[in-house]
């Protein structure tokens, strides 16, 4: 028997999941669009952001907003450090995409384990007390305040990136590097500096996503990989390297996942996501929107 | 002594996994990160047949290889459409899908509860219940797999694989159907991984989905990248190094849970350092 009452909740769940995926997709797309490399280490930075806030806010008892800002900055800084110490050197040597990907897997594995050593692998939540949160009823479904904030922040970041790309010199330089790095260098763009900034901002967005997830459900050291893979899938189905494509893909993926598990166990979500990815890679590898 | 035998058995099992993955990644140049899926298919087939029907271990192992082979044929067919980064990403996908099946097909695999009480192999009334005999069995399989790998990589078939790695277009101009070569080696590799899975299930006597995650595939990849791509001995050296490493950490005095994480840190750092300073690994003959 088909239960129709849960449809509003399914729609809301899709929107909530889409908001989280689109945050990851935005940061990842920024990095991929500029450097053409699958930065899998990026996944661990969500955990870095989440755990930084956990440390400042819950362990040290700092102010909530101060902790969040610190968490975002730390995620960005670590992303930058990793770029400078690993990826930048490999890129200078013109290493193949596969070398960079394996190095990124190393970064992911090492960062996750370091977090687990520092904070144990236990599942932690960032919100003070579960259940006390404001809840909004929309058309028979519920959405929490954190989830609403996540959705809004995602849309704001998308708009900011879109505007920066369109109107600022920095955005144009980033686009130019994405089109052709060699030529950008020749016309006098300081590519190394711009790419460093891209890594900082991309990682900071990833960190912010981790923080928001921490307030919504919770954090664990290994949260990054599955999150990142969702972000990557969102980018590929939406159109990799395209700011709006990533967000579109994120919501599309979230809807497919959540409606896919309508009649079956929720544990199948990951499998559904990858089936979607493989279908897209086979039949429309450039994604819905072109770069 | 018992402890050393345990380590040696693990090294043989991971040696087989390393050898099998090296055929695909090292010799053919396809960055496949889904070896744990075939390892798991072998382990689950053996576990289900042994506990469910009381079938002979060796027969179950062969059936596991057949199932792995069929799955890998389908997967390999899809993957062969992709290149480089996308190939890796697609192979990720299959690992996650197979893992989800282990976790969710509860009537068959018992899901997260896992399958306990898997018997040890027996042959003509002799049971390999002592670990020392099991070690002998796994070493025999390791040697078998090693010689098959050596035969493959030394043959004309192996030379075609290497030329696919170097320049697929050039070799297809000479009239070789590269798709069939890529499929064939992918299936062979999956069947070998399945052997390792059968041994693992029967040795530990308990399996659950957590042994066959994406991280396990990354670990197997780390083995061959450390040991050396496109070198059969390298795959075994890599397995020995990465299995021994956490044991050494434990002896240094880290508590068990920290030692497990230290192992992850170390092999992550090893991957980074190798990519930076020695992309061909210890004794490798090919750089990614």
Q: What does the pLDDT profile of chain A (291 residues) look like in tens digits?
A: 456 677 888 888 888 889 889 989 988 888 888 888 888 888 899 999 999 999 998 888 888 889 999 999 999 999 999 999 999 888 888 878 788 888 998 999 899 989 998 888 888 888 776 556 677 777 777 888 888 888 899 889 888 988 998 899 888 888 888 888 888 888 888 888 999 999 999 999 999 999 998 888 888 888 888 888 888 899 989 888 788 888 899 999 999 988 887 777 777 888 888 888 888 888 888 878 876
Q: Which domains does chain A show, CATH number per domain?
A: 4-283 (1.10.3470)
CA B215, CA B65: separation in Å to the nearest integer?
A: 22
pLDDT over threshold 90, residue B107: no
Please tell me if residue A38 touches chain B, with a CB cutoff of 8 Å.
yes
When pLDDT is cut at 50, 70 and 90, the band that residue B38 belongs to is very high
B275 to A109: CB separation less than 8 angstroms, yes or no = no
- Closest chain B residue by Cα to residue A106: B268
The answer as to whether B76 is a domain residue is yes
What percentage of chain A's residues is helix, strand, coil (to nearest 5)? 75, 5, 20
- Helices B214-227 and A97-119: crossing angle in degrees, nearest 10, is 120
Residue of B nearest to A110 (CA): B265
Quote the number of domains for chain B. 1
- Note whether residue B191 is domain-resident: yes
- Please answer yes or no on whether A229 and B92 come within 8 Å at the CB atom: yes
Nearest to B104 among A99, A107, A268 (CB): A268
pLDDT for the residue A132 = 63
B96 to A99: CB separation less than 8 angstroms, yes or no: no
Interface check A122 vs B, CB under 8 A: no
User: B6 lies in a domain?
Assistant: yes
Give helix A191-216 / helix A169-179 axis angle, nearest 10°: 100
Interchain contact, A98 vs B265, CB within 8 Å: no
Cβ atoms of B46 and B172 within 8 Å: the answer is no
The model's pTM is: 0.87
- Nearest partner of B78 among A280, A66, A152, A140, judged by Cα: A280
Q: Average pLDDT, stretch B36-58?
A: 90
For the cut 80, the answer to whether the pLDDT of residue B288 exceeds it is: no
Mutation for testing the A interface, residue in B110, B217, B276 having most A CBs under 10 Å: B276
Closest CB to B78 among A97, A268, A278? A278
Would you state the pLDDT for residue A1? 47
Query: Among candidates B198, B212, B201, which has minimal Cα distance to B42?
Result: B198
| pLDDT confidence tier of residue B243, bands split at 50, 70 and 90 | confident
Domain hosting residue B59, numbered range:
2-111+128-212
Contact B85 A98 (CB under 8 A): yes
In a mutagenesis test of the A interface, which of B86, B105, B246, B272 is the best target, namely the one with the most A β-carbons within 10 Å? B272
Over the stretch B117-166, which tens digit does the pLDDT of each residue have? 888 887 887 777 788 888 988 999 999 999 999 999 888 888 888 888 88
- The answer on pLDDT for B169 being more than 50 is yes
Q: Does residue B93 fall inside a structural domain?
A: yes
Q: State residue A218's pLDDT score.
A: 86
pLDDT in tens, B175-203: 888 888 889 999 999 999 999 999 999 88
State yes or no: pLDDT of B16 exceeds 60. Answer: yes
CA dihedral sign, ordered A206, A212, A214, A218: negative
Write out chain A residues lying below 8 Å of B89, CB-based.
38, 232, 236, 277, 281
A277 contacts B264? CB cut-off 8 A: no
In a domain, B89, yes or no: yes
pLDDT of residue A131: 57
Of B92, B262, B288, the CB nearest to A99: B288
- Asked whether residue B265 is assigned to any structural domain, the reply reads no
The more confident residue out of B284 and A2 is B284
Q: What is the pLDDT of residue A222?
A: 84
Query: What ipTM was predicted for this assembly?
Result: 0.84
Cβ–Cβ gap B90/A106 under 8 Å: no
User: CA-CA distance, A57 to A65, in Å (whole number)?
Assistant: 9
The pLDDT of residue B36 is 92
Within a domain: B44: yes
Given CB atoms, is B113 within the 8 Å cutoff of chain A? no
Rounded Cα distance between A253 and A279, Å, is: 12
């Amino acid at each position: 028997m088909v239960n129709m009452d849960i449809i509003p909740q399914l729609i809301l769940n899709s929107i909530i999941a889409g908001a989280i995926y689109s945050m990851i997709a935005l940061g990842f797309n920024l990095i991929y669009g500029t450097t053409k490399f699958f930065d899998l280490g990026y996944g661990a930075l969500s955990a870095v952001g989440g755990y930084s806030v956990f440390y400042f806010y819950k362990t040290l008892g700092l102010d909530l907003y101060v902790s969040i800002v610190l968490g975002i900055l730390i995620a960005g800084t670590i992303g930058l450090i990793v770029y400078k110490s690993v990826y930048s050197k490999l890129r200078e040597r013109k290493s193949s995409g596969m070398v960079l990907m394996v190095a990124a897997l190393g970064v992911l594995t090492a960062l996750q384990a370091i977090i687990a050593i520092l904070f144990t692998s236990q599942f932690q939540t960032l919100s003070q007390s579960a259940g006390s949160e404001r809840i909004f009823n929309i058309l028979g479904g519920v959405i929490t305040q954190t989830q609403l904030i996540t959705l809004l922040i995602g849309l704001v970041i998308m708009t900011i990136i879109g505007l920066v790309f369109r109107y600022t010199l920095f955005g144009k330089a980033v686009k130019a590097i994405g089109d052709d790095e060699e030529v950008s260098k020749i016309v006098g763009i300081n590519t190394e500096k711009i790419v460093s900034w891209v890594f900082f901002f991309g990682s900071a967005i990833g960190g912010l996503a981790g923080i928001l997830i921490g307030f919504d459900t919770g954090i664990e050291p290994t949260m990054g990989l599955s999150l990142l893979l969702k972000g990557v899938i969102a980018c590929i189905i939406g159109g990799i390297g395209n700011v709006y494509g990533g967000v579109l893909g994120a919501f599309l993926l979230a809807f497919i996942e959540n409606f896919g598990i309508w009649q079956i166990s929720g544990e199948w979500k990951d499998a559904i996501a990858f089936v979607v990815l493989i279908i897209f890679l086979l039949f429309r590898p450039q994604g819905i929107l072109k770069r | 002594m018992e402890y050393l035998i345990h380590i040696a058995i693990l090294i043989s099992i991971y040696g087989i996994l390393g050898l099998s993955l090296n055929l695909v990644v090292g010799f053919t140049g396809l960055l496949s990160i889904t070896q744990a899926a075939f390892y798991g298919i072998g382990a689950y087939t053996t576990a289900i047949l042994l506990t469910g029907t009381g079938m002979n271990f060796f027969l179950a192992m062969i059936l596991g290889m057949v199932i792995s082979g069929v799955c890998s044929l389908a997967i390999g067919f899809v993957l062969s459409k992709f290149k480089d980064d996308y190939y890796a990403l697609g192979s990720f996908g299959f690992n996650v899908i197979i893992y989800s099946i282990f976790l969710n097909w509860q009537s068959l695999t018992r899901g997260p509860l896992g399958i306990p009480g898997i018997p040890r192999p027996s042959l003509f009334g002799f049971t390999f219940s002592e670990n020392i005999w099991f070690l002998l069995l796994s070493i025999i399989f390791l040697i078998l797999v090693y010689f098959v790998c050596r035969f493959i990589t030394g043959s004309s078939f192996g030379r075609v694989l290497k030329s696919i790695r170097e320049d697929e277009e050039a070799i297809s101009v000479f009239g070789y159907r590269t798709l069939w070569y890529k499929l064939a080696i992918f299936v062979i590799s999956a069947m070998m991984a399945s052997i390792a899975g059968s041994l693992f299930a029967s040795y530990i006597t308990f399996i659950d989905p957590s042994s066959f995650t994406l991280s396990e595939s990354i670990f197997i990849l780390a083995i061959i990248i450390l040991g050396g791509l496109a070198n059969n001995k390298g795959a075994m050296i890599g397995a020995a190094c990465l299995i021994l490493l956490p044991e050494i950490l434990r002896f240094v005095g880290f508590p068990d849970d920290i030692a497990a994480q230290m192992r992850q840190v170390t092999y992550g750092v090893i991957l980074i350092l190798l990519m930076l300073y020695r992309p061909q690994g210890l004794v490798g003959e090919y750089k990614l």
